[in-house]
Amino acid sequence: MPLTISPIHHDFVARAEGLDLSQPLAPGDVEAIDHAMDTYGVLVFRKQPLAPEAQLAFARHFGPLDLGLRKVSRSANRLHHEELLDISNVDEQGRVADRNHRKIVGNLANQLWHSDSSFQDPAARYSMLSAAVLPDWGGETEFCDLRAAYDSLPQRLKSEIEGLQAEHYALHSRFMLGDDQYTEEQRNALPPVTWPLVRTHPGSGRKLLFIGVHASRIVDMTVAEGRMLLMDLLEHATQPQFVHRHEWQVGDLVIWDNRCTLHRGRRYDLSARRELRRTTTLDVR
Ligand code: OGA
Ligand code: MN
């Protein structure tokens, strides 16, 4: 069956059906997914539970895979595949992690609006999140449309920010949450990178606001002024008209383009088990 696409909003987020993602994709399927991603930025596949190997194989159709923050803290991966990121509140022994467990900070940092791995070059292109175990309430994931957010900026602000560069740093979100117990080596493992604040999305040719919590300052601006500008832009971009909330079902696979969307997890009871698995491609093609 070919891929069928049903938009959820006019040009942001679509439901995708017709493919069995546990099987190797035909080149035409990869192209069709890329094409839909270019238009909608987020695709939701339901009823596609994927074993670790199948999720990795699916992701590799779209480029080399990213390790994210695992480059800083190399704890053992519970899922036994370096490139399958364990987005869960479960500890090494398979129990719901204690609230004081360091891993929980990572969980909570995912509740801040961000673009995966925007703190490195190459950054992330697609993230693919598969839901295995879900809590009874909360734990949704929200997405915001950075292209629509850019389009709706007043012309004065568009001119003001054109040409500005933002610095993105991996540990900024951790510091914001009071987690600052990192060695010099860890702090330097992922040096900051800069990206233009206004970028053009290659697949659609549309301009967008490249922001999110990893952006820690604006180059050639005081930290204070840059952070206030970043916070203002984030507040603009995450207004309800630009945001879609995904309510998870077990077996969902959601793919988003980190180059034109931000996302965040929503609160849930940290003592309830929540297990998702992520694969992420690098933006290198
Ligand atoms: C991620 C992420 C949010 C969530 O996996 O990259 O930010 O809802 N997840 O778990
Ligand atoms: Mn993320």
- Whether this model's pTM surpasses 0.75: yes
Question: Does residue 129 line the site of ligand 1, with CB under 6 A?
Answer: yes
Q: Buried (b) or exposed (e) across 140-175, using 16+ Cβ within 10 A? A: ebbbbbbbbbbeebeeeeeeebeebbbbbbbbbbbe
How wide is the angle at C-alpha 258 spanned by C-alphas 19 and 115, nearest 5°? 135
Q: What is the pLDDT of residue 73?
A: 62
Q: What does residue 6 show for φ and ψ, rounded to 5 degrees?
A: -120, 110
Centre of ligand 1 to C-alpha 206, Å, is 25
Give the ligand at the shortest distance from the Cα of 265.
1
Q: Which of 88, 94, 100 lies closest to 134 in space, CA to CA?
A: 88
Residue nearest (by alpha carbon) to ligand 1 atom 4: 265
Number of domains composing the chain: 1
Centre of ligand 2 to C-alpha 211, Å, is 13
The enclosing domain of 174 has a CATH number of 3.60.130.10
Question: Does residue 216 line the site of ligand 1, with CB under 6 A?
Answer: no
Range(s) of the domain holding residue 272: 4-282
Centre of ligand 1 to C-alpha 146, Å, is 17
Q: What is the DSSP letter of 210?
A: -
Longest dimension (CA), the chain: 55
Per-residue pLDDT of the chain (285 residues; tens, 9 = 90+): 799 999 999 999 999 999 999 999 999 999 999 999 999 999 999 999 999 999 999 999 999 999 876 666 656 788 888 999 999 999 999 999 999 998 999 999 999 999 999 999 999 999 999 999 999 999 999 999 999 999 999 999 999 999 999 999 999 999 999 999 999 999 999 999 999 999 999 999 999 999 999 999 999 999 999 999 999 999 999 999 999 999 999 999 999 999 999 999 999 999 999 999 999 999 995
